[in-house]
């Protein structure tokens, strides 16, 4: 089987769904923690399960370079290599090849680049990116796309859209594993006409699901939301929709209100490693001196390991002392914060009151 998407309920444009994959099912809207290098930084599988993660993301670009697809293949695929038996999604490497690699040259064939690790030369093409993802064996894989930067001229964004469509067709052609669901990626920068063109062309190619790429790359959030408003209606109602690289608490609510089903973002885990905790009273910087004798939990409302066991003062001490345990405890907390928010969001859709959740929580999450 590939994936199956059951649309359980709609409330305005927001949707409640169930996505079935060969490695299990999960409810949508869903947040997917990012395991760039086949590990969600600092946390174990058990901790991910405990905070509520049901599907994680891994990065094709990173794993292709290290440890190499052949090592993951020898292990029996990503699920066995990582010992994560639940659904996995891989991106195509398209975004990373633009943001991380050096000396890249884009032609219609693909992207020639040098590794950010050792400078070695590589060529990633739609065929290669698909073959690597077939080897990695994630449940959901992405077409290889060209992500235009922000800001960007209409001309350059148009060229990226046209190339993304041509490459999407080549990915479909190259895709060899019917047990993996291939998603197309809508590009078009911040130009409504190009988003329209990209969506229309990809929908013609009939993908199992659709990603929206090229957002949250530096544009104002209001612009991202208006582009979502323009784009969503073009995508088939019965297919899952994935907003790539977006996961701040407010953007999760705003994205779901506009009809998004899936999100991923490094923000909550990265923020934790920098000492920032999400709380129901807003963000909290644990390095701040005011927490030195603050013996309450990070968030009274939270049921995570860090909040049940440790005080802000202790966590602050761990950060100041350079203890890695802090990074881990606050990663668990921030993930749990987002998963509790997603639970609230799904409940609010069920009860047709997502708009009022936005109101209620308007002051408590921040951009």
Q: Is 172 in the site for a copy of itself (CB under 8 A)?
A: no
**8 Å CB contact between 35 and 44:** no
Give min distance, CB of 341 to a copy of itself, in A: 24
91 carries an active-site annotation: yes
User: Binder to a copy of itself among 7, 10, 25, 39 (CB under 8 A)?
Assistant: 39
Span of 129-137, 162-170, 262-270, 325-333 interacting with a copy of itself by CB under 8 A: 325-333
The reply to whether 41 sits near a copy of itself by the rule CB under 8 A is: yes
Residue selected from 64, 81, 167, 278 as contacting a copy of itself according to rule CB under 8 A: 81
Shortest spacing between CB 193 and a copy of itself, in angstroms:
41
The dihedral through the CA atoms of 304, 305, 311, 314 has a sign that is negative
307 binds a copy of itself (CB under 8 A): no
The residue within the footprint of a copy of itself, chosen from 18, 44, 107, 236 (CB under 8 A), is 44
**Contact flag: residue 292 with a copy of itself (CB under 8 A):** yes
The residue annotated as part of the active site, out of 118, 264, 299, 352, is 264
8 or 325, CB closer to a copy of itself?
325
Note whether 64 binds a copy of itself by CB under 8 A: no
Compare residues 41 and 221 and give the one whose CB is closer to a copy of itself. 41
- Does residue 71 bind a copy of itself (CB under 8 A)? yes
Nearest to 302, CA basis, from 339, 346, 265: 339
What sign does the CA torsion over 157, 158, 162, 165 have?
A: positive
Closest contact distance (angstroms) between CB of 316 and a copy of itself is 8
Answer yes or no: 229 catalytic: no
- Residue choice 7, 8, 75, 266 for contact with a copy of itself (CB under 8 A): 75
Sign of the alpha-carbon dihedral angle for 318, 320, 323, 324: positive
Question: Catalytic residue positions?
Answer: 91, 264
Can you give the binding site for a copy of itself, defined by CB under 8 A?
37-39, 41-45, 62, 66-67, 71, 74-75, 81-83, 292-293, 295, 305, 309-311, 313-314, 316-318, 320-321, 323-325, 327-329
């Amino acid at each position: 089987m590939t994936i199956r998407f059951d649309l359980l309920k709609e409330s305005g444009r927001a949707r409640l769904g169930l996505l079935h994959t060969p490695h299990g099912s999960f409810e949508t809207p869903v947040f997917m923690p990012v395991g760039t290098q086949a590990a969600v930084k600092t946390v174990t599988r058990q901790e991910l399960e405990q905070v509520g993660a049901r599907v994680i993301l891994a990065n094709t670009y990173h794993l292709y370079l290290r440890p190499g697809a052949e090592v993951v293949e020898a292990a029996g695929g990503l699920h066995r290599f990582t010992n994560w038996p639940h659904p996995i999604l891989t991106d195509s490497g398209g975004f990373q090849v633009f943001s991380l690699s050096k000396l890249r040259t884009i032609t219609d064939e693909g992207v020639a680049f040098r590794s950010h690790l050792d400078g070695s030369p590589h060529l990633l093409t739609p065929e290669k990116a698909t073959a690597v993802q077939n080897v990695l064996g994630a449940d959901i894989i992405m077409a290889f796309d060209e992500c235009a930067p922000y800001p960007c001229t209409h001309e350059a964004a148009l060229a990226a859209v046209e190339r993304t469509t041509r490459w999407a067709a080549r990915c479909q052609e190259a895709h060899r594993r019917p047990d993996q669901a291939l998603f197309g990626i809508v590009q078009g920068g911040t130009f409504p006409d190009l988003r329209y063109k990209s969506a229309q062309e990809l929908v013609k190619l009939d993908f199992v699901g659709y990603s929206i790429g090229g957002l949250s790359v530096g544009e104002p959030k209001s612009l991202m939301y208006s582009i979502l408003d323009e784009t969503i209606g073009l995508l088939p109602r019965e297919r899952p929709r994935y907003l790539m690289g977006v996961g701040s608490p407010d953007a999760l609510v705003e994205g779901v209100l506009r009809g998004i089903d899936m999100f991923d973002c490094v923000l909550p885990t990265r923020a934790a490693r920098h000492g920032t905790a999400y709380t129901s009273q807003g963000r909290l910087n644990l390095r701040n001196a005011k927490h030195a004798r603050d013996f309450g939990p990070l968030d009274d409302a939270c049921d995570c390991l860090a909040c049940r066991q440790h005080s802000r003062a202790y966590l602050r001490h761990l950060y100041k002392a350079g203890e890695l345990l802090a990074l881990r405890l606050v990663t668990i907390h921030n993930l749990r914060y987002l998963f509790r928010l997603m639970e609230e969001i799904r409940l609010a859709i069920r009860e047709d009151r997502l708009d009022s959740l936005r109101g209620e929580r308007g002051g408590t999450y921040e951009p």
